[in-house]
Structure 1
Amino acid sequence: MDWEIAAQGFAAMGSEARLQVLKTLIRAGNEGLTVGEIQERTGIAPSTLAHHLKFLSAAGLLKQEKVGRTILNQASFDQVEQLANFILSECCADVKQKAAKDG
């Protein structure tokens, strides 16, 4: 994952409401949720929710699929996992390097 994509993903999660929406979708699993179900669970106003869903979708953190007249929203687990791996990829590298040098 490159820095620009990582920055977009983290920026998308930089809002309390968007983070709440994403966590709600992660909790729902692969089945996903409709916009109405997300609104019910989060209490976010429909017009505001649409904005947040668009932002998360643009960052690749959620997938939207039209099923009949309904739009199903699903967390993009792969993208969320890549972001987590990106931020943790160098965890404790300095400590390990120092230990190897001292060792």
Structure 2
Amino acid sequence: MKQTAPPLPEITLAATAFAALGSEQRLAIVRRLVRAGPEGLTMGDLGNDVGVTGSVLTHHLKQLVSAGLVAQRKDGRRILSSIDHTAINALSAFLVAECCADVAWDLSENGHNHG
């Protein structure tokens, strides 16, 4: 079956996001921010929760912000980091958009696939 490539901007954005997630520490940061919800976390709380602090945390957050996965905002003297749920949902949708597209399903035989 002929495969169709996703539009270039979509695949470029996905590749950028996956590259940013290619570090265990950055993945831990994203997972923690997903759990925190839309309010996000302060740099101190985030760093303590994932075991990454100081300039290393700043470096990782810069990568995630650049990839569009994390947003940062000032709250008085604090900087809050939060996940960009739209970007995370788009990345998930990219992964499953063509799920099982090349598999022929025969629902008449107990739902088993036959290739």
Give the TM-score taking structure 2 as reference length.
Answer: 0.81
- What is the rounded CA distance, in whole Å, between the counterparts of 1:45 and 1:29 in structure 2? 21
Query: Counterpart amino acid of 1:15?
Result: S
Q: Mean Cα displacement is larger for which, 37-46 or 53-62?
A: 37-46
- What is the rounded CA distance, in whole Å, between the counterparts of 1:44 and 1:10 in structure 2? 20
Gaps of 5+ in 2: 1-8, 107-113
Aligned to 1:53: 61
The answer to whether structure 1 residue 87 and structure 2 residue 95 are counterparts is yes
Map 1:9-48 onto structure 2 (within 5 A): 9-48=17-56
Query: Counterpart amino acid of 2:37?
Result: G
Higher relative CO (Cα under 8 Å, sequence separation at least 6) belongs to 1
Give the TM-score taking structure 1 as reference length.
Answer: 0.90
In the TM superposition, structure 1's runs of 4+ consecutive aligned residues that sit over 3 Å from their partners are none
Higher-Rg member (1/2): 2
Which has the larger share of helix?
1
Query: Share of identical aligned residues, percent?
Result: 44
What is the aligned counterpart of 1:78 among 86, 94, 100?
A: 86
The answer to whether structure 1 residue 8 and structure 2 residue 13 are counterparts is no
Helix, strand or coil at the partner of 2:98: coil
Query: How far is the alpha carbon of 1:76 from its aligned partner?
Result: 0.4
Aligned pairs, how many?
99
- What is the rounded CA distance, in whole Å, between the counterparts of 1:49 and 1:32 in structure 2? 15
